[in-house]
Amino acid sequence: MDFARKQLEKYGWAEGEGLGKNRDGISKPLRPKLKFDNAGLGHDISQEFTDDWWRKLYDEAASNVVTKKENDSVVLETKNETIEINKRKRKKSKREKGEMYEGFIKTAELNGLSEKNLNDSVDCDSVTKISNEELFKICGGRTIHKGARHGLKMSAKLARLQEHESSIMATLESSNISDEVETKTKTKKKKKSKK
């Protein structure tokens, strides 16, 4: 700090003055601030206290209801705004059972005070299973591999993999045969028990 102060004073700066041509810049040195909270960039701590999402939802629902006074009674009417609800539970597949959030299926429509069921029956588990060959035909021979778009088929790599798999299968088959021979010889070599 002393070197910087001496340099500034050498060019006419006095303490308390701002930096810059017109002496209107910052007058205090920049100091680093340490971050001790867990909030990320753009996090507003007061948002949980100022964002009343439940109040907005209540106001929307209340604005849909109109009260009218007729003679000596009060009549409640709803506007023609539709609200969709889902009463039907969706079957979980084995993959989705561990997931926390699920998608919703549109099965009914709430219009005012009446409920309208939809005739479209949605079957979530009716996914058709396609083999790799059929999928390859459907996609017109395209693959996900980016090099395949340019004609690279990786035939050498596939040949090496095929050769490696065949060598592994050969060793497994030979070990299975030797295991069978060992088990047969072990069964024949039974010791007689001493009496």
Task: Give yes or no for a contact between 102 and 90, defined as CB atoms under 8 angstroms apart.
Answer: yes
Q: Which domain holds residue 64?
A: 53-88
pLDDT digits (tens, 9 = 90+) for 18-74: 888 888 888 887 877 777 777 777 777 787 788 777 888 788 888 888 888 888 888
pLDDT digits (tens, 9 = 90+) for 107-163: 677 777 777 776 655 555 556 788 878 888 888 877 777 777 677 777 888 899 999
Q: Is 124 helix (H, G, I), strand (E, B) or coil?
A: coil
On whether residue 65 sits in a domain, the answer given is yes
On whether residue 62 sits in a domain, the answer given is yes
On whether residue 71 sits in a domain, the answer given is yes
Task: Give yes or no for a contact between 84 and 110, defined as CB atoms under 8 angstroms apart.
Answer: yes
Task: Give yes or no for a contact between 17 and 27, defined as CB atoms under 8 angstroms apart.
Answer: yes
What's the pTM value of the predicted model, to 2 decimals? Answer: 0.22
On whether residue 58 sits in a domain, the answer given is yes
On whether residue 83 sits in a domain, the answer given is yes
Task: Give yes or no for a contact between 124 and 107, defined as CB atoms under 8 angstroms apart.
Answer: no
On whether residue 183 sits in a domain, the answer given is no
Q: What is the spatial distance between Cα 138 and Cα 127, in angstroms, rounded to a whole number?
A: 16
On whether residue 112 sits in a domain, the answer given is no
Domain count, the chain: 1
